[in-house]
Amino acid sequence: MVLKKITTTALWLLACALCHASDLSDKLQSSEYVLLMRHTRAPGIGDPAHYVLEDCKTQRNLSAEGRQQARRIGDWLKKQNIQTADVQSSAWCRCKDTAELINFKGFQVEPSLASFFDDMQKANERTQALQQFISQKLKTKGDKALILVTHHVNIHAFMGENIASGEMVLAKVDPNGKMMSYQVIPRPH
């Protein structure tokens, strides 16, 4: 009888833990949610003068800490029961490296996630393009999570709040890709 009670309690605790872990997964499997992620730690601000987008050596890149953060985030997402994801990334190397290191079997470069740090007047244009992209992707993604790896300026323009490197935003969006509400998810440690 005691063994049965322990087993029942252990199973209830496990089910409860899985229930909480799958909340994020359940939301991301729906067509109402997207996960935006700021690239992980890349010391500095902006990029060096005369950087070349196709040459990572000329850009601000992930530090060793940033690379480890990205791996930890990928592990954490999988522990949240997110097994498959459509990962999209800005063309900047720090975003592509983050997208690769979270380890969801590849990623695609998406132009609407490109930084506009060098030309802040593009904020509205880029945000509208991102909303259109999200709207289209949510119609065809199936039950895969949609994870968008981008930059501080893009996330700030989309949601109106600053977030730290490696932090995530669970955004509930309308059919047009406009954010209705959001939850900031701190970077897992």
**Cβ-Cβ contacts under 8 Å for 33 (sequence gap 6 or more):** 27, 146, 170, 171, 172, 173
The sheet carrying 145-150 orders its strands as 108-109, 85-89, 145-150, 33-38, 168-173, 179-185
Does the pTM exceed 0.75?
yes
User: ∠173-28-71 over CA atoms, to 5°?
Assistant: 120
Domain spanning 24-185 has what CATH number?
3.40.50.1240
Digit-coded pLDDT (tens) for 73-120: 999 999 999 999 999 999 999 999 999 999 999 999 999 999 999 999
What are the residue ranges in the chain where pLDDT is below 50? 1-5, 8-21
Q: How far apart are CA 30 and CA 47, in angstroms?
A: 36
